[in-house]
Structure 1
Amino acid sequence: MNIIDLHCDVLARMHKAEGNMSFKDSNELDVTYEKLKQGGVHIQAFAIFISPSLKSDQKFQAALDQIHYFYTDVIGKNPNMKALKTWSDFDQLQEGEIGAFLTLEGVDCIGNDMQKLSILRELGVLSIGLTWNNANLAADGVGEKRGAGLTSFGKEIIEFCNENKILSDVSHLSEKAFWDVMDLAHYPIASHSNSKTICNHRRNLTDEQATHLFQKNGLIHVVYNPPFVIEKGDASISDLIAHIDHFCSLGGIRQIGLGSDFDGISEKIIGLEDASMQPALINELLKKYSEDEVKGFAYKNFLDHRPGVMTLQHAGEEIC
């Protein structure tokens, strides 16, 4: 079964290693070409994440460096890896090819310069999260005690996303910023978040947030990070599926996907330690859900709700 994974941090790890890490088959990486192939991952999102500790005047160059590794190491050295720069590219993948696309995890790297955001879009960024856990010029993240919402600049970025058919990712936002985004965004998504009802962690979503996302045709992609899965003890695949079960109970069965956070997490779910093990989750899901429903979780829900396809859906036309 094809799988689409909406979040990994391979590029940040390659940047930290200054490129001395092979995407093809490095044992140090959770996500490699070989592991994607073994795990049946058809499309992988690659986040651009810039450490908050980096000096402000170095952040945009760090983002460009990560994009460089994406095109030279991930794509350039693996002929069957194909860069997806537009939503229509998703339909052009051939048998045996693995698609890859860029996402932005926090807009710190652009400062207050929208031209830099335009450059990142031209380079292939298809999803933008305004913050990581910290605050920046666009919004407060979930780790900012102030808990403020979007700034005027943040609202300008959401409008940019709407105009350019870019996903607006809410996964790391403060709750106030989440609701501000929901008021404005045409294409909302939580790329790697779980249910706060099941696991009371600040990074997870309340039932009210999740329900509102579903009502707005948004998506929630469950994350494999154990502290977001279970409050105590070792996390199992069944513990992760409990979050899917709960989101389904809120009406989201056609709007749930997967967002591993591989290479960005230090703990792992037992039996789901890297990209090659994704089939273990699929096999467990097939014990509880129909094949069509599991195909939805694995890849089809995302394809049916990506910008462009969603526009047709809203217009009442048949989804291609």
Structure 2
Amino acid sequence: MDTLLSLRVFCTVVELKSFTAAASRLGVSPAMASKHLTHLEGRLGMRLLNRTSRSVSLTEVGALYLHQARQALDGLDEVEAAIGDVVAAPRGTLKLSAPMWMANPATARLIADYHRRYPDVGVDMDFSGRIVSLVDEGFDLALRATASDKLDPGLVVRPLMDVPFQLVGAPAYLTRTGRPSGLSDLNGHALLLYGGMSANGSLPLKGRAGEVTVKFSVVMRSQNEIMLHLSALEGMGLVFLPVWMTQADVASGALEVVLPEDVMFSVPLHAVYPSRKYLSAKVRTFIDFVSLRMSGDDACCLENSAFVRAAAAAGEHR
């Protein structure tokens, strides 16, 4: 039996979550698709998929095998294209993990623009906010915002840009509590705190007059930036969020930027992937596309590096 075709059947079944759909795409019968899976499992002596009458799911071994199989097939496609003196066209499904706060209109426009340029690439995006295992879970790529020394040294890391963050609050909250005129005025203010930060609310902030440790009153702590954002809009307290999440609310007056010259800082955003070897066209073109687009954005410097260091030390991986 053609092992190469068996690999394609396996990857397509996982992508479409159906033997029937995979068989239709590849021009074989469902029974033959099932035989190809049995062939692979027989060669390995291990089960790759859990199969029921209604669904298929990867086993732990299958998840690892899927990543390697995809890399091998993508590499083979590009080698064949190179031999044919043509450029390998990106295609397939790009499985991507990104921070929760990137689920916003700017990211949607970026993904839509990429798809218009490369229509044969579909995107499977995970915005759960958790740190996924790229290899074990079959992800092609992740976008992660954190200090580079906090990333897995076994991954390839490509810096993309610095993402600016701001301290914002609703006008109703600031009218009720008073608008701070300096860093020391932030002491005691209600803070909606990202879950990876210091739980006691003490944060070192570097302003124009030097570094000051501010003691906030933490009124909410969550790993979900969207919930923090919505709570800030309700006037519950102040929150540090990426400019990408808040720019529309600031423009409309729903949120105000607090002490923009003192507490604005940025966090580096990286593209990370498992290996440079056999880097597929879909991964390479996506990284290049995102890098080019982001290089044109205004990104502030790490003015508040003390805050970023505190976040990184607390294990923040947004």
Of the two structures, which has the highest relative contact order with CA contacts closer than 8 Å and spacing of 6 or more?
2
Higher strand share: 2
Report the TM-score, using the length of structure 1 for normalisation: 0.27
Which has more radius of gyration? 2
